[in-house]
Amino acid sequence: MKNIKAIIFDAYGTLFDVNSAAEKCKAKIGINKWDIFSNYWRTTQLEYTWLRTLMNRHEDFWKITEDSLDKSMAVFDIDPLMRSELLDLYKVLSTFPEVNDALNKLKEKNYKLAILSNGTPALLNELVKSNNLDNIFDDIFSIEEVKVYKPHSNVYNIPVKKYKIQKEEAAYLSANTWDVSAGGNYGFNPVWVNRKNSIFDKLDYVPKYQVENLGKLLDII
């Protein structure tokens, strides 16, 4: 990968473990269902972002996170008293184990580092701060600038417009295959973070680069 001027990261599921909130409550939710519940919450959350974009009925990511949690708790018959605890934990999701070290090493190489996320600026800033990443990122870009969610192309244009770079001069990292496809079709140099040895979706794009975790990015960039 050559002539990269900026490395842009998806946040949820790529830097931050979206299952970590429910995992911290697994004894209360149920040892045998906390992960199924968490995956359902995440899937519903994403579906709501796509549906609201298609319907032109925008609500910010925190509202969508609340609404998708409410549905998920009803489906899995979770004690309503847990709602506040789960939402508070979602604001401070944990990073994946290798993330902090990998980001610090990339920072030492003087790359421009940024987040591009569905999250609101307030949510993203709290995530970064709670994981001691305050001094890592040059910018934190939110879809709230354009009021549509990924994978709309207007989202991926945000950092290109800010940095005044060519699309191919940005490496874009995501663990979400649909996000990688959208970034690649937009013109980024995408890297799929495939921690679970998954199969890539059939969305008219196959990424040239794939890593099993963020630490492996240092081998290709």
Q: How far is CA 154 from CA 24, 43, 151, in A?
A: 35, 22, 9
Q: Which amino acid is at 145?
A: E
For the record, the structure tokens of 130 come out as: 């709670």
- From 10, 70, 79, 139, active-site residue: 10
Instruction: Name the nearest CA neighbour of 203 among 186, 178, 221.
Output: 178
* Sequence-separated (6 or more) residues with CB below 8 Å from residue 198: 177
Q: How far is CA 112 from CA 107, 115, 140, 194, in A?
A: 8, 10, 11, 23
Edge-first strand listing for the sheet containing 189-193: 139-142, 112-117, 6-9, 170-174, 189-193, 209-211
Q: How far is CA 90 from CA 123, 127, 152, 166, 185, in A?
A: 9, 9, 24, 34, 30
The H-assigned helical ranges of 92-167 are 99-108, 121-130, 153-163
Residue 10: active-site member: yes
Q: Which active-site residues does the annotation give?
A: 10
